[in-house]
Amino acid sequence: MAVVLSLLTLVLVAYVATALFYYLFQERFIFVRYQIAPLSRFKFRYPFEERYLVADDGVRLHALYFKADQPRGVVLYFHGNTGNLRRWGKRAPRFTALGYDVLMPDYRGYGKSGGGLSAKALHNDALAWYDSLKEQWDEHDIVVYGRSLGSGMAVPVAANRSPRMLVLETPFANLYDVARNFLWILPYKLLLRYPFRNDLAMRRVRCPVYIFHGKRDDVVPYTSALRLYSLVPTNVHREMHTFPKGRHSDLARFMRFNREMRRILA
């Protein structure tokens, strides 16, 4: 009996220690940030400019603005959780080739953007970048695009503004789904400070919604994206594009992905 109690105690201590570790260090798992020196330069072979924005709390944020020839609109691109604009800027030609400018912000602590992280600050920053585009573009010409973690910014923006459309690549319904996919046993509703409740925000979206997701995604479960799709209001145009062999970061290699993207943005 004593041995059983000792084992149970050991298991309980290990469980609590794991939960505490995740609670304290969750930002390192969720936001894999790489900073860039303020005076460093980007090297892309296509036209772009650097843009800055001062957030409500005084934090200086940074983005790149990529230019298309005779643009028909602009894509506000919220990137994934790893890297910075040196990596994600390489995605811009997908849109400039279709006649769209691209505004691509770096989140707080990424690249040249400063500031401490919080879910509220990230959402406010995303709205501020959208509103900065409204000074240059009509809302009907703005496409909001969220890639993976970026869906946690893109969906609330679309819910609180009126863009032309919302496009989501490998999105989640909420970050609880993603966390449970890695280690299901922890009480994430008590631990997670960044739940990114796309499932709640999606109910308020009024623009067309397009979701792209692979069934072999081992980071964001396909079922989470499917649930998010089910929450799009019934009076809103919606499309779910499923790739049976698609993983988390390879959808652009499929001809159908690029074909559908051209159709949507045409």
The whole-chain average pLDDT of the chain stands at: 94
Q: How much is the CA Rg of the chain, to the nearest whole Å?
A: 20
| % of the chain beyond a pLDDT of 90 | 86
Any domain includes 24:
no
Given this model, what pLDDT does residue 24 score? 87
Given this model, what pLDDT does residue 12 score? 73
Does residue 42 carry a pLDDT above 90?
yes
- Give 48-57 pLDDT, tens digit per residue: 999 999 999 9
Q: Provide the residue range defining the domain that includes 198.
A: 31-265
**Which is more confidently placed, 105 or 266?**
105
Any domain includes 169:
yes
Does residue 14 carry a pLDDT above 80?
no
Any domain includes 44:
yes
- Give 131-169 pLDDT, tens digit per residue: 999 999 999 999 999 999 999 999 999 999 999 999 999
Of all helices (H) and strands (E), which one includes residue 64? strand 60-66
CA proximity to 66, closest of 57, 54, 79: 79
Any domain includes 2:
no
Any domain includes 140:
yes
Given this model, what pLDDT does residue 57 score? 94
Given this model, what pLDDT does residue 19 score? 85
CATH number at residue 202: 3.40.50.1820
Any domain includes 161:
yes
> Helix (H, G, I), strand (E, B), or coil: what is residue 223?
helix
CA angle 25, 26, 28 (to 5 degrees): 75
- Beta bridge partner(s), residue 102: 66, 75
CA proximity to 92, closest of 49, 129, 46: 46
| CA dist., res. 248 & res. 171, Å (int) | 10
183 confidence band (pLDDT: 50, 70, 90): confident
Given this model, what pLDDT does residue 182 score? 86
- Give 238-253 pLDDT, tens digit per residue: 999 999 999 999 999 9
Any domain includes 112:
yes
**Which is more confidently placed, 112 or 25?**
112
- How many structural domains comprise the chain? 1
| CA dist., res. 191 & res. 211, Å (int) | 28
Q: Which amino acid belongs to residue 242?
A: T
User: If you ran DSSP here, which 8-state letter would residue 106 be given?
Assistant: P
25 confidence band (pLDDT: 50, 70, 90): confident
Given this model, what pLDDT does residue 6 score? 64
Does residue 92 carry a pLDDT above 90?
yes
Does residue 120 carry a pLDDT above 70?
yes
Does residue 11 carry a pLDDT above 70?
no
Cβ 73 vs Cβ 164: under 8 Å = yes
Any domain includes 118:
yes
Burial of 168 (C-beta count, 10 Å sphere; 0-12/13-18/19+): buried
Instruction: Return the residue matching tokens 């319904």.
Output: 173
- Give 54-76 pLDDT, tens digit per residue: 999 999 999 999 999 999 999 99
Cα torsion 126, 131, 136, 137: sign:
positive
- Give 188-225 pLDDT, tens digit per residue: 999 999 999 999 999 999 999 999 999 999 999 999 99
Cβ 204 vs Cβ 159: under 8 Å = yes
Strands 60-66 and 100-105: antiparallel
Average pLDDT over residues 120-132: 98
Tokens of 261: 């993207």
pTM, full prediction: 0.95
Cα torsion 137, 95, 33, 146: sign:
positive
